[in-house]
A and B are shown apart, each in its own frame.
Chain A
Amino acid sequence: MSFLGFGNGQPQLSSEQKIAAAETELDLVTDMFNKLVDNCYKKCISTQYAEGTLSKGESACLDRCVAKYFETNVKVGENMQQLGQTFTNAGKF
């Protein structure tokens, strides 16, 4: 996530501001991770709990789920850019 939009025209951000900005970025990514965990759990894993470990089918499903989630993220970012809103920063990582 690049804050070039902020930093370019202004004087150098102070240390705290930079760390705060990085923290926001970190929060955004971990929030995305949490949503990813929840959604992939819903989509891939049955709640019958036959056993305590993941089966091969579920594992393969999870791998594909994560890849598709990232792709979706990128596509939505691109669409937002096209639509011209100020979501450009959230789209890039």
Chain B
Amino acid sequence: MDALNAKEQQDFQKLVEQKQMKDFMRLYSNLVERCFNDCVNDFTSSKLTNKEQTCILKCSEKFLKHSERVGQRFQEQNAAMSQGLNR
């Protein structure tokens, strides 16, 4: 990535946006699977119970917040590491 010149960087940035969208889709499906695994355990009826619905809500919120926090720290660590390598 450090061998790109300015025009290539612009093309790369577009590619990055595409990747971000794909990752967002992947995040969504991963979230569905995770909340299903953790929350939905009662198969006596084909409709979600109230308890399961609140659990799914909490699970989604929590996972998204978790992902955001980890993303922040990830960026900080990457920046720190690239600075460290630069020395």
Are A and B in contact, CB atoms below 8 Å, in the complex? yes
CB distance from A59 to the nearest CB of B (A): 6
Main secondary structure on A side of the interface with B: helix
Residue of B nearest to A49 (CB): B58
Whether B62 pairs with A53 at a CB distance below 8 angstroms is: yes
CB distance from A40 to the nearest CB of B (A): 6
Whether A19 pairs with B73 at a CB distance below 8 angstroms is: no
Residues of A with C-beta under 8 A to B3: 3, 7, 13, 18, 21-22
CB distance from B83 to the nearest CB of A (A): 12
- Map CB proximity to B onto A8-36 as digits: 1 under 8 Å, 0 otherwise: 00000101001101110111011001101
- Total residue contacts A-B, CB cutoff 8 A: 99
Chain A: interface size category: 35 or more
Whether B26 pairs with A93 at a CB distance below 8 angstroms is: no
Residues of A with C-beta under 8 A to B21: none
Contacts A26-B16, A33-B71; is A66 near B77 (CB within 8 Å)?
Answer: yes
Contacts A15-B8, A62-B70; is A93 near B82 (CB within 8 Å)?
Answer: yes
Which 10 pairs of residues, A with B, have the shortest CB-CB distance? A52-B61, A66-B73, A49-B58, A52-B58, A22-B1, A47-B38, A70-B77, A54-B65, A37-B70, A49-B55
17 contacts between A and B (CB under 8 A): A1-B1, A7-B3, A22-B3, A22-B4, A22-B15, A23-B19, A25-B1, A26-B1, A29-B78, A33-B70, A52-B58, A59-B69, A63-B73, A66-B70, A66-B73, A66-B74, A67-B77
> Measuring CB to CB, which residues of chain A are less than 8 angstroms from any residue of chain B?
1-3, 7, 13, 15, 18-19, 21-23, 25-27, 29-30, 33-34, 36-37, 40-41, 45, 47, 49-54, 58-59, 62-63, 65-67, 70, 74, 92-93
